[in-house]
């Protein structure tokens, strides 16, 4: 049985080669497959189901925040992309160009959207006339294309799925408020649903989005100590509005430019889940995002009553609102356990003839492998409590790991020592000059991940790079 053989091959251990471990997981947990198109992935049922759960949870939060969904065309005429100077410089080098429609060459080539600011601006220009038309708080779920040279499943691919919110407001204050509001929606979602703590903060000028006045970010720490930018929210001020001519008449009948924002998260979040929670046996999924939360695995399933009881338990759990599946295939229980662990199903229920006789079953947590025996009539209650516990413990574990990997650097030498020996975030003061950012990037491949919200502590009076006076605290790190 070639399929069984494939699975039981050990995956590379994290310690040995984290990048290979990651690649093994995405394939062997059957999240993705590679396609004939270089740099584009096929998202398989378990991978897509995680994305559907992310979508459902985020979309609900968006709608509570007054967001409406729309759909824009996937193509952008070259002249439209060219309208905002910084934006086109940021994106033109990495877009795919459509030059022919059917048998004919197009008069103007079209790029496949790498992001849709320009399309929303072109739309808002006509759709917004009066202050009564504001605010516009629109979002779309779609795929975008960026012709990257180096790609990795979920983390960086030529096509990926995302949502992109694009809003227009009467005032600068309202735009700023919305920018921060949506970043907080992302951060809360990551903590509450993905069990992934994040650092919230502002990007430096060097790291901000092409065309934005300010970019806010949530940064998560992966198991290997590298940072992953997990969501961003941009305040455009009235820059795009001026480039595209998006004006409204205010209550005094004066023409004003709108103020805009955009914000997005992508299938990259699936990569984050893998690298924050996974272990050497495979995926570990937080229950709130897991396609199946419980796997019921019958033991000695040929014995009388075992399969029937497994199906009955699954039915009861389903009725209790639990996502459950029964593995009644012909594989051995040991193989089924390995498969459930590889796929990261949070809890497994083992039920065999002995359990049947005792009126009990065995529950095993995926994250800690802790076992407990429960009476069958208390199953629903035990499972619901266990799923809650797993969700909470994963967040705590990830938070502890993150906190243990934040280091303070007070000087260049200290920065060098930390970055060369201790993977994680480095807190260090920054004078504000881009040349210091460039130096740290060239020397250590370290980038300014963000200037954290709230945390205004001045851990040193001088820049961690040049030693000149500095007042900005920055989280530095190597990043995906």
Q: Which positions lie near its own copies, rule CB under 8 A? A: 1-3, 33, 35-37, 40-45, 48-49, 51-52, 68-77, 80, 93-103, 110, 112, 119, 122-123, 126-127, 129-130, 132-133, 138, 142-143, 145, 147, 158-159, 161
CA nearest neighbour of 356 among 287, 303, 419: 303
In sequence order, which residues have a C-beta less than 8 Å from that of residue 456 and are 6 or more positions away? 473
Furthest C-alpha separation in the chain: 82
Alpha helices in 251-369 (DSSP H): 268-277, 306-319, 333-343, 353-358
Q: Specify the residue, 122 or 437, whose C-beta has the smaller distance to its own copies.
A: 122
3-state secondary structure labels for all residues of 190-235: HHHCCCCCCEEEECCCCCCCCCCCEEEEEEEECCCCCEEEEEEEEE
C-beta closer to its own copies: residue 160 or 415: 160
For its own copies, the closer of residues 113 and 277 by Cβ is 113
Please state the closest distance from residue 123 (CB atom) to its own copies, in A. Answer: 6
Nearest approach, Cβ of 151 to its own copies (angstroms)? 12
Q: Quote the least distance from Cβ 195 to its own copies, whole Å.
A: 24
Beta-sheet strands, E only, within 132-173? 136-145, 159-169
Q: How far is CA 385 from the centre of its chain?
A: 26
Cβ distance to its own copies smaller for residue 43 or 183: 43
**Among 441, 452, 435, which Cα is nearest to 419's?**
441
**CB of residue 271 vs its own copies: minimum separation in angstroms?**
15
User: What are the helix (H) ranges across 359-466?
Assistant: 379-404, 412-421, 434-444
Angle value at C-alpha 437, between 207 and 224, nearest 5 degrees: 75
Q: Please identify, using beta-carbon distances, which residue of 32 and 363 lies nearer to its own copies.
A: 32
CB of 162 to its own copies, least distance (A): 12
Distance between CA atoms of 268 and 228, rounded to whole angstroms? 9
For residues 204 and 293, which CB has a smaller minimum distance to its own copies in the complex? 293
* Residue 81 C-beta: closest distance to its own copies, Å: 11
Least distance from C-beta 144 to its own copies, angstroms?
A: 10
Nearer to its own copies, 101 or 245 (CB): 101
Of residues 45 and 461, the one with the C-beta less far from its own copies: 45
According to DSSP, the residues that pair with 185 across neighbouring strands are none
Angle between helices 412-421 and 434-444 (to 10 degrees): 40
Tokens (6 digits) for 137: 């708080």
Tokens representing 123? 């739309």
Contact 441, 447 (CB under 8 A): yes
The DSSP code for 44 is P
**Distance between CA atoms of residues 347 and 324, nearest Å:** 10
Distance from chain centroid for Cα 132: 35
| Shortest spacing between CB 414 and its own copies, in angstroms | 40
Q: How far is the CB of 192 from its own copies (least distance, A)?
A: 23
Q: Can you tell me the distance from the alpha carbon of 10 to that of 1, in angstroms, rounded to the nearest whole number?
A: 17
Smallest distance from the beta carbon of 59 to its own copies, in angstroms? 9
CB 270 within 8 A of CB 155: no
Smallest distance from the beta carbon of 288 to its own copies, in angstroms?
19
User: CB–CB of 225/15 below 8 Å?
Assistant: no
Characterize the bridge pairing of strands 360-365 and 347-351.
Answer: antiparallel
Give the nearer residue to its own copies in terms of CB position, either 147 or 335.
147
CA Rg value for the chain: 25
| Nearest residue (CB) to its own copies, 52 versus 188 | 52
Residue nearer to its own copies on the CB measure, 27 or 226: 27
């Amino acid at each position: 049985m070639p399929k069984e053989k494939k699975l039981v091959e050990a995956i590379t251990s994290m310690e040995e080669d984290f990048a290979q471990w990651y690649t093994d997981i995405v394939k062997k947990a059957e999240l993705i497959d590679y396609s004939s198109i270089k740099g584009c992935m096929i998202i398989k049922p378990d991978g897509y189901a995680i994305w559907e759960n992310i979508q459902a949870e985020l979309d609900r939060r968006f709608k509570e925040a007054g967001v409406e969904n729309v759909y824009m065309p996937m193509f952008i005429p070259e002249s439209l992309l060219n309208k905002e100077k910084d934006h086109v410089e940021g994106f033109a080098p990495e877009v795919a160009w459509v030059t022919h429609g059917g048998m004919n060459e197009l008069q103007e080539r079209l790029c496949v959207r790498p992001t849709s600011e320009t399309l929303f601006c072109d739309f808002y220009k006509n759709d917004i006339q009066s202050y009564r038309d504001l605010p516009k708080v629109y979002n779309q779920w779609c795929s975008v294309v960026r012709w990257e040279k180096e790609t990795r499943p979920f983390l960086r691919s030529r096509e990926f799925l995302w949502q992109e919110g694009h809003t227009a407001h009467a005032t600068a204050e309202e735009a700023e408020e919305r920018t921060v509001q949506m970043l907080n929606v992302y951060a809360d979602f990551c903590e509450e649903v993905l069990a992934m703590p994040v650092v919230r903060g502002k990007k430096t000028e060097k790291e901000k989005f092409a065309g934005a006045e300010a970019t806010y970010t949530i940064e998560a720490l992966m198991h290997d100590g590298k940072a992953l930018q997990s969501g961003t929210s941009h305040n455009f001020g009235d820059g795009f509005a001026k480039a595209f001519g998006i004006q409204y008449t205010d209550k005094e009948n004066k023409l004003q430019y709108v103020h805009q924002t955009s914000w997005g998260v992508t299938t990259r979040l699936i990569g984050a889940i893998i690298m924050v929670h996974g272990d050497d046996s495979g995926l570990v999924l937080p229950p709130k995002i897991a396609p199946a939360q419980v796997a019921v695995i019958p033991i000695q399933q040929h014995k009388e009553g075992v399969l029937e009881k497994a199906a009955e338990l699954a039915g009861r759990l389903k009725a209790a609102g639990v996502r459950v599946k029964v593995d009644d295939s012909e594989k051995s229980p040991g193989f089924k356990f390995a498969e459930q662990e590889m796929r990261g199903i949070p809890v497994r229920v083992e039920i065999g003839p002995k359990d049947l006789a005792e009126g009990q079953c065995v529950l095993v947590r995926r994250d800690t492998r802790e076992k407990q025996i429960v009476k069958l009539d208390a199953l629903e209650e035990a499972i619901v409590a266990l799923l809650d516990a797993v969700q909470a413990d994963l967040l705590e574990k990830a938070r502890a790991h993150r906190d243990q990997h934040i280091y303070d650097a007070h000087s260049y030498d200290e920065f060098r020592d930390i970055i060369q020996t201790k993977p994680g975030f480095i807190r260090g003061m920054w004078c504000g000059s881009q040349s210091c950012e460039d130096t740290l990037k060239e020397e250590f491949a370290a980038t300014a991940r963000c200037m954290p919200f709230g945390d205004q502590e001045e851990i040193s009076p001088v820049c961690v790079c040049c030693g000149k006076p500095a007042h900005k605290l920055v989280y530095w790190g190597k990043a995906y």
